[in-house]
Amino acid sequence: MVAIAIAVFALRTPRFTGVRYYCPALSGSIMTTTSSSLSPCPNLINGEWIDPKLATSEVFNPSTGEVIAHAPVSGAAEVASAVDAASRAFPAWRDTPAVERARVFFRFRHLVEQHFDRLCHCVSREHGKTLVEARGSLFRGLENIEYACGIPSLLMGDTLEIARGVDCETIHQPLGVCAGITPFNFPVMVPLWMFPVAIACGNTFILKPSEKVPLAANMLGELLMEAGLPTGVFNIVHGGRASVDAILTHPKVRAISFVGSSPVAKYIYETGTRHGKRVQANGGAKNYIVVMPDANVSKSVEALSTAAFGCAGERCMAGSTALTVGAAAERLLPDLITAARAIRVGRTDRPEQKNQPDMGPVITASHRDRVIELVSQGEREGAKIVCDGRGARVSDGPKGFYVGATIVDEVAQSMTIAREEVFGPVLNVMRMDDLDSAIELANASNYGNGAAIFTNSGSAAREFKQRIKAGMVGINVGVPATMAMFPFTGWDDSFYGDLHIQGREGVQFFTQQKVISTRWLGDTGPAAADVWRK
């Protein structure tokens, strides 16, 4: 008996059938972090790396201003090929038991860990994150892979005897072909918010990475295939608006996960839903950090500095406005200015170098110019620049896209810099009389991503937690970004849709529920086998 059971189990236990794919053009050249040689940037369709003969867009190393790759500007034809591949791959992948699907992600997790440094260097080179920041973002991504490894438990349904002899159960089934459209600011982490859970749920997937940071996404594709994911389950199409529009309107795409700026998020949500798709679209942000007069000064300075200047301010959870209540500004500002002035800006594309900078460049020359112009406009409108990073220069990267840490004091609500998402290393300081006016000002924003308060008062913290209009709230936590097991809960213009990215909501987004009611009537009719088997 035991022997039979073992034999049956052995038969059912899948063997590792993954083919070891290899993209020779990708490996190696991505590692040449300071070389001026171009990295190849093919699409990944049906398990093949394809270099479509199309117009391309330039990918920069923002530390030096050099062009490091040309990303194909794909359109409807490339998206159609990817959707065809994903549609063909769907039935077999859907029918693969969840435990087997999860095993691919256990192997993928191991490979990402094995190639951790290589991925971090790629992120630092194409995006400009410091190595510490790149590592942090990759850890957040790894947690999403780990979450997807738990998919057998996450997909379990409910069951209940609802009447005598009648059972009811729920099962969660995948949707089909799903797509992810991602921003430049987290080249690895944001794609990992989406595709591990989508694919582990049994869907097939098309990733359209930001055309500004396409290289790390290709490394993920390479590792996913090495993990044994069947051909066509994961595809990558590079490009800009034309490829996005093709995804939004393709009849076989069932769901779209988007992260990017609010105007584009709104467009994706409206267009995608009009074409019958599920859409979850994360948008931009303007996050407020309230500092009460009783807050711990050194901890608040450290947290504000990290929240505002970490990742050069290019985070949707950046704490870009300090609302100082009463005496808090006088207590805080001298140390905050000292801390900001001490931030060393420099090249992030030389991982071998001992002295790594505290902050890297911003993504492009035009983005740097926009950030500087917004600060200058603030100054013209009456704000005071108490720490000025506009003239930042890096001697060994004279053509890099640098802005130093900047603090703009006495910002008023009417100023452009108070309303626009700056997305650079700029902290606004707005002085408030009391907590009520701070909450009122923050709640007047169209965004609603994150908000934080620094205080030692439990009642102030409670008041803030209850009344603030934001989906993610920190109490003495400057960047309350959620981890993989919790949803990333933006509100208002920071999110369009119903089910958020990550956590159980992420699983719900990528599955549809079926409720089955069952009653067995006894063996009175013909043998079941005679009826349904020829």
Residue with token string 């490091």? 68
Q: Which of 282, 320, 324, 428 binds ligand NAD (CB under 6 A)?
A: 282
Q: Which is nearer to ligand NAD, 159 or 366 (CB)?
A: 366
The reply to whether 273 sits near ligand NAD by the rule CB under 6 A is no
Cα dihedral across residues 347, 349, 355, 359: positive or negative: positive
> Smallest gap, in angstroms, from Cβ of residue 487 to ligand NAD?
11
Give the integer Cα–Cα distance in Å for 449 and 421: 12
Q: Which of residues 449-508 bind ligand NAD (CB under 6 A)?
A: 449, 488, 490, 494
Count helices and strands in the chain by DSSP H and E runs: 18, 22
Identify which of 517, 506, 3 has the alpha carbon closest to the alpha carbon of residue 255.
Answer: 506
CB count, 10 Å around CB of 158? Answer: 10
Question: Using CB atoms within 10 A of its CB, is residue 362 exposed (0-12), middle (13-18) or buried (19+)?
Answer: buried
Helix, strand, coil fractions of the chain, as percent rounded to 5: 40, 20, 40
**Which residue sits closest to ligand NAD, CB atoms considered?**
260
Q: Which of residues 411-440 bind ligand NAD (CB under 6 A)?
A: 421, 423
> Smallest gap, in angstroms, from Cβ of residue 144 to ligand NAD?
13
Find out whether 268 and 183 touch, Cβ atoms under 8 Å: no
260-268, 304-312, 438-446, 520-528 -> range binding ligand NAD (CB under 6 A): 260-268
Q: Which of 261, 306, 457, 476 binds ligand NAD (CB under 6 A)?
A: 261
Q: Which of 23, 154, 199, 264 binds ligand NAD (CB under 6 A)?
A: 264
- What are phi and psi for residue 447, nearest 5 degrees? -85, 170
- Decide if 41 is catalytic: no
Q: Which is nearer to ligand NAD, 75 or 228 (CB)?
A: 75
Find out whether 506 and 178 touch, Cβ atoms under 8 Å: no
Q: Which of residues 150-209 bind ligand NAD (CB under 6 A)?
A: 181-185, 190, 208
154-162, 215-223, 254-262, 410-418 -> range binding ligand NAD (CB under 6 A): 254-262
The site that binds ligand NAD (CB under 6 A) totals a number of residues, namely 28
27-35, 129-137, 150-158, 255-263 -> range binding ligand NAD (CB under 6 A): 255-263
> Smallest gap, in angstroms, from Cβ of residue 291 to ligand NAD?
22
One of 23, 178, 201, 316 is an active-site residue; which one? 316
The reply to whether 244 sits near ligand NAD by the rule CB under 6 A is yes
The reply to whether 272 sits near ligand NAD by the rule CB under 6 A is no
Identify which of 408, 444, 447 has the alpha carbon closest to the alpha carbon of residue 429.
Answer: 408
The reply to whether 443 sits near ligand NAD by the rule CB under 6 A is no
Q: Which of residues 289-328 bind ligand NAD (CB under 6 A)?
A: 316
> Smallest gap, in angstroms, from Cβ of residue 284 to ligand NAD?
3
Helices (H), 34-115: 76-94, 98-114
Q: Which is nearer to ligand NAD, 155 or 308 (CB)?
A: 308
78-86, 103-111, 240-248, 302-310 -> range binding ligand NAD (CB under 6 A): 240-248
Q: Name 174's bridge partners.
A: 511
Q: Which of 83, 89, 112, 285 binds ligand NAD (CB under 6 A)?
A: 285
CA distances from 468 to 358, 413, 452, 465, 501 (A): 32, 17, 9, 6, 21
Give the integer Cα–Cα distance in Å for 123 and 426: 22
Give the integer Cα–Cα distance in Å for 128 and 168: 53
Identify which of 295, 286, 318, 301 has the alpha carbon closest to the alpha carbon of residue 387.
Answer: 301
Give the integer Cα–Cα distance in Å for 51 and 57: 13
Q: Which is nearer to ligand NAD, 260 or 319 (CB)?
A: 260
Identify which of 91, 307, 119 has the alpha carbon closest to the alpha carbon of residue 203.
Answer: 91
Q: Which is nearer to ligand NAD, 321 or 449 (CB)?
A: 449
CA distances from 2 to 6, 7, 13, 277 (A): 6, 9, 16, 49
The reply to whether 240 sits near ligand NAD by the rule CB under 6 A is yes
Q: Which is nearer to ligand NAD, 247 or 392 (CB)?
A: 247
Mapped onto helix, strand or coil, the DSSP state of residue 305 is helix
Q: Which residues are catalytic?
A: 316
Residues that bind ligand NAD (CB under 6 A): 181-185, 190, 208, 210-211, 240-241, 244, 259-261, 264, 267, 282-285, 316, 421, 423, 449, 488, 490, 494
